[in-house]
C-alpha cells in the first residue's frame, strides 16, 4: 500500500468514526438526547475541538466482545476553547456499549484528566454511561478507581464540572460526586448507586428511575446536583456561562470583564426591600440582584437548603461568591443542610481565588431534636471551618439580625473576615431582646405586679443598651455602619483594596475538617 493509499484509508476510517451508527443515533435522538459529538459541539467554540485517541479500541476477548471492536470505545476525549479559553472534556457515547466503561475507555479518560491537570485547565465530563462494562470484569472497576484518584488529585487545583445527560449508576455516579459542580437534565438524566430493580429486590420498594435519582430529586432533596435544567442545550449553555466565571486553575484569578453598570451606582431600593421589623420576611435574591453588576448572578444549589443562598456574580467586573441568609425560608436560620451547602461553596471559592461577600440576616441555628440528633453541631462546624480556613478576600455585611453562634459562623470579624460592615438597623446580640430579657431579668419579671409591662420595659432597656446599631462598631467588631444605598460601591472599593491579599496558612499536610 502506497503512502497516499494509507492516507486515504485513514481518512475513510475517520469518516466512519464520525458518521457513527445511524440506527443508534436515531435511538438517541428519540429519547430526547444528543450524541456525544453534538454535545461537544455545543460546549466548545465552533471548530476548536481537538480529539485524541479517536482510533482507540478495546482488546478484551470473550462474551462476544472480540466480534465488536468499534473505534473510540464509547468515549470521545479532547480539548478546545470555551469563549477563547482552553478546556478539556470527555463525553460518553451511549451508542457504543451504552457508554459503559471498560479498560480502553477508562485509559482514554485517565489520559485527558492527566492532560487537563498538567495544562492547568478546567475539565468537563459529559456523562451518559451505563457504569462498568460487565464483560471486562475487574479491569473496568480498576478503570473507575483511576478516575476517582485523579478527581481527588485535581480537586481544588482545576475546576471539574460533571454534566449528567443520561442514566449513570454505581461508579459512574461517584466520580461526579467528587467534582466541583454537577449539572443534570430533567427526565433524561439520573444518578444512583443501585437502580430501581436492585432497590425492589432488596427492600421491596417500587420506584422509577427519576423518582430514585432524577434531576429534581438531586437538585432539591439530596443536594447532589447543583443545577437542573429542562433540556441539554440550556444545560450546556449554562456550563459555558459558569466556566466564564471560574479561573483556569488555582494559580490564577477569575476572569474579569468590562462593566457598564456604574461602580458608584447607589442602591436606593435596598431600604425598601429590607423591612426594619426583624420579624418581617423579604427575598434576599432581590437584594443580591440590586447589588451585583446588571442584576445577574448564577445561584448554586438554588433548590436545596433554601434558608441560605450561595451564588456567583460580578461586582465591578470582578467575580465574587456571595453567601446570604434567606429570610423567606425558615426565617434565614442555619440548619444541617444550609450549613453544609454554604461550607462547600466557601471552600470552592477559596480554592479558586474567588472573593467572598457574606450578607447576614440570621436569627440563629434551627432548634429541634431532629437537628441535634442529625448532627447540627458537626455540620455547623463545617461552615465555621470553611470560613476560618479561607484566605481569599472576605467582606461581611450585616443587614438586620445577627444572633448567637450563627452570627459568629457567618464570617464575623472574630473568625477572620477582612472587613465587617453593617446597616443602621443591625442587631448583633447573643439572642433576640425578648429571649434575653426573659433570661437576664426573670426574677424581676416574676416579682413584678404587672409582669407583661415590666417585661416590655426591660426589653426596651436591653435593646437600648446592648443591641443598638453602633454597639458592635464601638467595640471594633464592625468596621463601619453604612448607608444601605452605598453598599454596592463600598463592596467594590473594599474588594479592590483586598485584591492582592496574601494570607498564608500554617505549614501542614492538610487540615482535618468536620466530617
Class of domain 3-243: alpha beta
What pLDDT, on a 0 to 100 scale, did the predictor assign at position 198? 86
Q: What is the mean pLDDT of residues 352-372?
A: 96
On the question of pLDDT at 23 being above 90, the answer is: no
Neighbours of 490 (CB within 10 A): 17
Active-site residue flag, 406: yes
What pLDDT, on a 0 to 100 scale, did the predictor assign at position 73? 80
Q: Is 149 helix (H, G, I), strand (E, B) or coil?
A: helix
Please give the residue that has the higher pLDDT: either 441 or 278: 278
On the question of pLDDT at 364 being above 80, the answer is: yes
Catalytic entry in 132, 406, 422, 494 = 406
**Rounded CA separation 471/491 (Å):** 22
What pLDDT, on a 0 to 100 scale, did the predictor assign at position 102? 81
What element of type H or E holds 215? Answer: helix 215-217
To the nearest 10°, report the CA torsion of 420, 425, 429, 431. -130
Residue 431: pLDDT band (50, 70, 90) is low
What pLDDT, on a 0 to 100 scale, did the predictor assign at position 437? 64
193: closest CA among 216, 215, 177? Answer: 177
**Rounded CA separation 240/234 (Å):** 10
Share of the chain above pLDDT 70, in %: 90
Cβ-contact 507, 458 below 8 angstroms: no
Q: What is the mean pLDDT of residues 145-154?
A: 95
Cell of 217: 430529586
Report residue 345 CA to chain centroid gap: 6
On the question of pLDDT at 432 being above 70, the answer is: no
Q: Worst-scoring range by mean pLDDT, 51-55, 124-128, 282-286?
A: 51-55
Please give the residue that has the higher pLDDT: either 67 or 23: 23
What pLDDT, on a 0 to 100 scale, did the predictor assign at position 27? 84
On the question of pLDDT at 5 being above 80, the answer is: no
On the question of pLDDT at 249 being above 60, the answer is: yes
Q: What is the mean pLDDT of residues 375-390?
A: 96
Neighbours of 138 (CB within 10 A): 9
Catalytic entry in 98, 405, 416, 435 = 405
What pLDDT, on a 0 to 100 scale, did the predictor assign at position 81? 98
Residue 359: pLDDT band (50, 70, 90) is very high
What pLDDT, on a 0 to 100 scale, did the predictor assign at position 141? 84
Decide if domain 270-432+467-497 falls under CATH 3.40.50.720. no
**Segment 397-414, tens digit of pLDDT:** 999 999 989 999 999 999
DSSP β-bridge partners for residue 490: none
Neighbours of 336 (CB within 10 A): 21
**Segment 198-248, tens digit of pLDDT:** 888 999 899 999 999 999 999 999 999 999 999 999 999 999 999 999 999
What pLDDT, on a 0 to 100 scale, did the predictor assign at position 483? 97
**Rounded CA separation 295/88 (Å):** 30
- Residues whose CB falls within 8 Å of the CB of residue 363, separated by 6 or more in sequence, listed in order: 278, 331, 332, 333, 401, 403, 406, 432
On the question of pLDDT at 449 being above 90, the answer is: no
**Segment 452-486, tens digit of pLDDT:** 777 777 777 777 776 777 888 888 889 999 999 99
Q: Worst-scoring range by mean pLDDT, 4-8, 76-80, 117-121, 191-195?
A: 4-8
Q: Worst-scoring range by mean pLDDT, 111-125, 407-421, 425-439?
A: 425-439
Cβ-contact 389, 511 below 8 angstroms: yes
Query: What's the order of all strands across the beta sheet hosting 123-127?
Result: 50-52, 75-82, 85-92, 123-127, 160-164, 181-185, 227-229
Please give the residue that has the higher pLDDT: either 130 or 270: 270
What pLDDT, on a 0 to 100 scale, did the predictor assign at position 474? 85
- Residues whose CB falls within 8 Å of the CB of residue 32, separated by 6 or more in sequence, listed in order: 187, 188, 231
Angle at 170 between CA 105 and CA 111, to 5 degrees: 25
CA neighbours closer than 13 Å in the CB half-sphere of residue 385: 16
CATH 3.90.226.10 residue spans of the chain: 3-243, 270-432+467-497
Contacts 24+ apart (CB under 8 A), 27-31: 27/95, 28/94, 28/95, 31/188
Q: How many residues does the chain have?
A: 515
Catalytic entry in 171, 213, 321, 404 = 171
Residue 269: pLDDT band (50, 70, 90) is very high
- Residues whose CB falls within 8 Å of the CB of residue 251, separated by 6 or more in sequence, listed in order: 120
Q: What is the mean pLDDT of residues 19-45?
A: 87
What pLDDT, on a 0 to 100 scale, did the predictor assign at position 6? 62
Catalytic entry in 170, 364, 380, 432 = 170
Q: Worst-scoring range by mean pLDDT, 12-16, 241-245, 346-350?
A: 12-16
Residue 21: pLDDT band (50, 70, 90) is low
On the question of pLDDT at 16 being above 70, the answer is: no
311: closest CA among 224, 217, 242? Answer: 242
Active-site residue flag, 332: no
How high is the mean pLDDT of the chain?
90
Q: What is the mean pLDDT of residues 412-439?
A: 84
Please give the residue that has the higher pLDDT: either 315 or 426: 315
What element of type H or E holds 271? Answer: helix 270-273
**Segment 286-318, tens digit of pLDDT:** 999 999 999 999 999 999 999 999 999 999 999
Angle at 269 between CA 266 and CA 274, to 5 degrees: 125
**Rounded CA separation 265/116 (Å):** 40
Report residue 74 CA to chain centroid gap: 29
DSSP 74-120: TEEEEEEEETTEEEEEEEE-TTTGGG-B-HHHHHHHHHHHHHHHHHT
Angle at 440 between CA 439 and CA 441, to 5 degrees: 100
Q: What is the largest CA-CA distance in the chain?
A: 111
- Residue in the structure block whose three cell numbers are 492527566: 114
Give how far Cα 363 sits from Cα of 71, 283, 324, 504, Å.
59, 16, 13, 33
Active-site residue flag, 146: no
DSSP 382-425: HHHHHHHH--S-EEEEEEEEEEHHHHHHTT-GGGT-SEEEE-TT
Give how far Cα 150 sits from Cα of 111, 128, 176, 179, 351, Å.
10, 19, 12, 10, 17
On the question of pLDDT at 58 being above 70, the answer is: no
Cell of 191: 444518578
Cβ-contact 17, 54 below 8 angstroms: yes
Neighbours of 163 (CB within 10 A): 28
Active-site residue flag, 405: yes
Amino acid at each position: 500500500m502506497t503512502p497516499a493509499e494509507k492516507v486515504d484509508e485513514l481518512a475513510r476510517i475517520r469518516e466512519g468514526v464520525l458518521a457513527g451508527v445511524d440506527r443508534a443515533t436515531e435511538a438517541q435522538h428519540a429519547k430526547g438526547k444528543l450524541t456525544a459529538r453534538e454535545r461537544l459541539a455545543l460546549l466548545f467554540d465552533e471548530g476548536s475541538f481537538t480529539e485524541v485517541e479517536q482510533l482507540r479500541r478495546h482488546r478484551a476477548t470473550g462474551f462476544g466482545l472480540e466480534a465488536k471492536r468499534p473505534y473510540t470505545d464509547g468515549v470521545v476525549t479532547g480539548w478546545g476553547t470555551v469563549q477563547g479559553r482552553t478546556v478539556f472534556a470527555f463525553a460518553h457515547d451511549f451508542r457504543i456499549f451504552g457508554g459503559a466503561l471498560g479498560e480502553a475507555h477508562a485509559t482514554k479518560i485517565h489520559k485527558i484528566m492527566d492532560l487537563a491537570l498538567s495544562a492547568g485547565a478546567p475539565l468537563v465530563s459529559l456523562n451518559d454511561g451505563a457504569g462498568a462494562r460487565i464483560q471486562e470484569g475487574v479491569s473496568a472497576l480498576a478503570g473507575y478507581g483511576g478516575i476517582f484518584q485523579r478527581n481527588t488529585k485535581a480537586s481544588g487545583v482545576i475546576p471539574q464540572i460533571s454534566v449528567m445527560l443520561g442514566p449513570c449508576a454505581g461508579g459512574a455516579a461517584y466520580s461526579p460526586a467528587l467534582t466541583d459542580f454537577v449539572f443534570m437534565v430533567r427526565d433524561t438524566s439520573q444518578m444512583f448507586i443501585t437502580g430501581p430493580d436492585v432497590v425492589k429486590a432488596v427492600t421491596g420498594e417500587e420506584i422509577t428511575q427519576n423518582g430514585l435519582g432524577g434531576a429534581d430529586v438531586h437538585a432539591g432533596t439530596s443536594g447532589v446536583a447543583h443545577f437542573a435544567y429542562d433540556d441539554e442545550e440550556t444545560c450546556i449553555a449554562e456550563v459555558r456561562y459558569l466556566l466564564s466565571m471560574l479561573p483556569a486553575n488555582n494559580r490564577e484569578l477569575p476572569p474579569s470583564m468590562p462593566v457598564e453598570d456604574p461602580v458608584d451606582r447607589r442602591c436606593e431600593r435596598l431600604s425598601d426591600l429590607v423591612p426594619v421589623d426583624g420579624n418581617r420576611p423579604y427575598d434576599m435574591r432581590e437584594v443580591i440582584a440590586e447589588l451585583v453588576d446588571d442584576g445577574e448572578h448564577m445561584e448554586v444549589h438554588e433548590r436545596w437548603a433554601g434558608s441560605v443562598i450561595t451564588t456567583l456574580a460580578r461586582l465591578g467586573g470582578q467575580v465574587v461568591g456571595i453567601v446570604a441568609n434567606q429570610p423567606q425560608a425558615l426565617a434565614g436560620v442555619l440548619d444541617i443542610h444550609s450549613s453544609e451547602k454554604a461550607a462547600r461553596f466557601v471552600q470552592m471559592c477559596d480554592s479558586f481565588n474567588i472573593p467572598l461577600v457574606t450578607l447576614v440576616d440570621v436569627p440563629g441555628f434551627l432548634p429541634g431534636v431532629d437537628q441535634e440528633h442529625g448532627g447540627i453541631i458537626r455540620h455547623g462546624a463545617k461552615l465555621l471551618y470553611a470560613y476560618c480556613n479561607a484566605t481569599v478576600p472576605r467582606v461581611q455585611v450585616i443587614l438586620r439580625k445577627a444572633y448567637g453562634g450563627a452570627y459568629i459562623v457567618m464570617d464575623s470579624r472574630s473568625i477572620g473576615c477582612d472587613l465587617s460592615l453593617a446597616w443602621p438597623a443591625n442587631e448583633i446580640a447573643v439572642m433576640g431582646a425578648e429571649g434575653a430579657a426573659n433570661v437576664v431579668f426573670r426574677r424581676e419579671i416574676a416579682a413584678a405586679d404587672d409582669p407583661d409591662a415590666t417585661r416590655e420595659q426591660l426589653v426596651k432597656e436591653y435593646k437600648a443598651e446592648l443591641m443598638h446599631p453602633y454597639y458592635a462598631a464601638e467595640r471594633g467588631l464592625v468596621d463601619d455602619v453604612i448607608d444601605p444605598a452605598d453598599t454596592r460601591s463600598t463592596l467594590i472599593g473594599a474588594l479592590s483594596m483586598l485584591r492582592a491579599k496574601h494570607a498564608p496558612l500554617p505549614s501542614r499536610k492538610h487540615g482535618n475538617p468536620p466530617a
